[in-house]
């Protein structure tokens, strides 16, 4: 074999070896790539399924790289949707809580769909439901508040009406007592209004009786009561009248009434005489003497009510209600009071030092004249 041939043969062997090695290396590399791609596809499919979705199908004759790209695209989209879905779910849960807090019996307007678009509709529906419940609650609170105000106003009106009725009953009862009657008992009627009407009717009946009684009394009043005799420095006339269901008591009460009038008149007369006497005697600055004279006047008046008066006229009138009206006219010799008055002044130890001045007054002399006239009669 020539040298050239050896060289050519050696080169050919080396070439074949090189080609074979390269092909084997490339085959190994391709095999690793396929394994990696399949592994990646499996992982992507698993992730997509974990997110609750179905992985897209591989097209016919579609190479693995493009399929992997499509799977990645699907996974990325799912992750974004999943994050949005979680936010939407959180919003829905919050809306549900608010609705249940406002109305525990409310039926939520949602379904169990996992579709994102359906959840958007659910959120809108829940928001509307929440607003409707808030509005309904607001209206309910307003109605409750209005009812409370109305009830309070009604209660106040009833209380005022009751106060008004109570005041009316008190006023009517007072009028009945004033007319001499006794109000009927409340248990005799069923309602307050009926009781007030019954009281009003009683008043009208009492007024009729009162008018009739007054008319009867007016017609029965004696002339001497209407025009009593004129008094003088010697005599004093007083009258009295009273009503009682007992004849004698009516007379006694009328007598007491006349004696009270007598006492008032004598007090007035003696007080006037005492002041004139003190002034004319010039003892106005003598407090002890003034006090003694006033005390004597009071003592004389007390004696009058015990004795000394005379009954001049009496009249008894029988009334329709069974009572009696008594009229009485008393005569009292006022000079008797003067006599007692000047005797006590003469006998008073406190007035001895002033007795001359007192007896020297015109008033004292007039009193002595009236006493002398009374004694002479």
Q: Tell me the HSE value of 246 on the side-chain side, using a 13 A CA sphere.
A: 4
pLDDT of residue 325: 93
Q: How many CB atoms lie within 10 A of CB 214?
A: 10
What local confidence, expressed as pLDDT, does residue 52 receive? 78
84-93, 253-262, 264-273, 322-331: segment of lowest average pLDDT:
84-93
Q: What is the mean pLDDT of residues 224-252?
A: 91
Q: How many residues does the chain have?
A: 377
Predicted TM-score (pTM) of this structure: 0.44
Question: Which token pair is 76?
Answer: 């990325």
Nearest-angstrom CA–CA distance, 320 and 113:
101
Instruction: Tell whether the model's pLDDT for residue 336 goes beyond 80.
Output: yes
**16-67 tens-digit pLDDT:** 555 655 555 566 677 888 888 888 888 888 888 877 788 888 777 678 888 8
pLDDT of 319 above 50: yes
Question: What proportion of the chain, given as a percentage, has pLDDT over 70?
Answer: 86
Boundaries of every domain in the chain: 3-102, 186-215, 231-376
Mean pLDDT taken over the chain: 81
The answer to whether 299 and 339 are in contact (CB under 8 A) is: no
Measured distance CA(318)–CA(324) in Å, rounded: 5
Beta bridge partners of 243: 325
- For residue 329, what pLDDT band results from cuts at 50, 70 and 90? very high
DSSP state for residue 193 in the 8-state scheme:
H
Is the pLDDT assigned to residue 72 strictly greater than 80?
yes
Looking at residue 297, what is its pLDDT?
Answer: 84
Q: What pLDDT score does 311 carry?
A: 93
Check whether 118 has a pLDDT greater than 70: no
Please identify which residue in the block is written with the tokens 């695209």: 73
Please identify which residue in the block is written with the tokens 């919003």: 91
CA distance 125 to 130: 9
Inform me whether the pLDDT recorded for 70 exceeds 90: no
Secondary structure of 48-117 in the HEC alphabet?
HHHCCCCCCCCCCCCCHHHHHHHHHHHHHHHHHHHHHHHHHHHHHHHHHHHHHHHCCCCCCCCCCCCCHH
Angle, to 10 degrees, between the axis of helix 247-281 and the axis of helix 287-304? Answer: 160
Tokens representing 303?
Answer: 């004696």
- Count of CB atoms situated within 10 Å of the CB of 364: 22
DSSP reduced 3-state for 334: helix
Sign of the four-CA dihedral 305, 306, 307, 309: positive
Residue 326 is given by DSSP the state E
From the list 177, 171, 180, 168, the residue with the least C-alpha distance to 212 is 180
3-state secondary structure of 314: strand
Average pLDDT over residues 161-181: 79
Quick check: 51 and 82 in contact, CB under 8 A? yes
Contact present, 71 and 106 (Cβ < 8 Å)? no
**Residue 273 in this model has a pLDDT that exceeds 90:** no
């Amino acid at each position: 074999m020539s040298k050239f041939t050896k060289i050519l043969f050696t080169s050919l062997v080396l070439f074949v070896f090189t080609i074979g090695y390269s092909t084997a290396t490339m085959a190994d590399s391709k095999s690793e790539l396929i394994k990696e791609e399949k592994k990646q596809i499996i992982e992507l499919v698993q992730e997509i399924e974990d997110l609750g979705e179905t992985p897209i199908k591989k097209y016919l004759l579609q190479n693995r790289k493009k399929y992997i790209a499509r799977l990645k695209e699907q996974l990325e989209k799912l992750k974004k949707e999943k994050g949005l879905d979680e936010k939407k779910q959180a919003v829905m849960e919050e809306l549900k809580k608010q609705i249940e807090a406002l109305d525990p019996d409310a039926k939520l307007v949602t379904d169990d769909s996992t579709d994102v678009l359906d959840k958007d509709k659910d959120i809108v529906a829940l928001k509307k439901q929440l607003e409707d419940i808030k509005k309904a609650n607001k209206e309910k609170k307003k109605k409750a508040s209005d009812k409370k105000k109305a009830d309070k106003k009604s209660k106040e009106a009833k209380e005022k009406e009751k106060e008004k009725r109570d005041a009316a009953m008190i006023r009517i009862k007072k009028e009945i007592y004033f007319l001499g009657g006794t109000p009927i008992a409340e248990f005799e009627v069923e309602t307050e209004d009926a009781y007030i009407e019954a009281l009003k009717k009683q008043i009208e009946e009492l007024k009729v009786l009162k008018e009739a009684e007054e008319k009867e009394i007016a017609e029965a009043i004696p002339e001497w009561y209407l025009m009593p005799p004129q008094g003088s420095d010697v005599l004093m006339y007083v009258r009295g009248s009273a009503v009682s269901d007992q004849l004698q008591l009516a007379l006694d009460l009328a007598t007491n009434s006349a004696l009270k009038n007598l006492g008032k008149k004598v007090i007035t007369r003696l007080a006037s005489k005492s002041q004139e006497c003190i002034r004319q005697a010039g003892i106005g600055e003598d407090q002890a003497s003034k006090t003694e004279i006033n005390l004597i006047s009071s003592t004389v008046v007390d004696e009058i009510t015990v004795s000394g008066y005379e009954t001049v006229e009496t009249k008894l009138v029988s009334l329709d209600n069974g009572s009696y009206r008594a009229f009485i006219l008393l005569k009292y010799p006022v000079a008797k009071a003067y006599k007692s008055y000047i005797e006590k002044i003469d006998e008073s130890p406190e007035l001895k030092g002033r007795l001359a001045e007192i007896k020297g007054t015109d008033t004292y002399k007039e009193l002595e004249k009236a006493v002398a006239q009374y004694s002479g009669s």
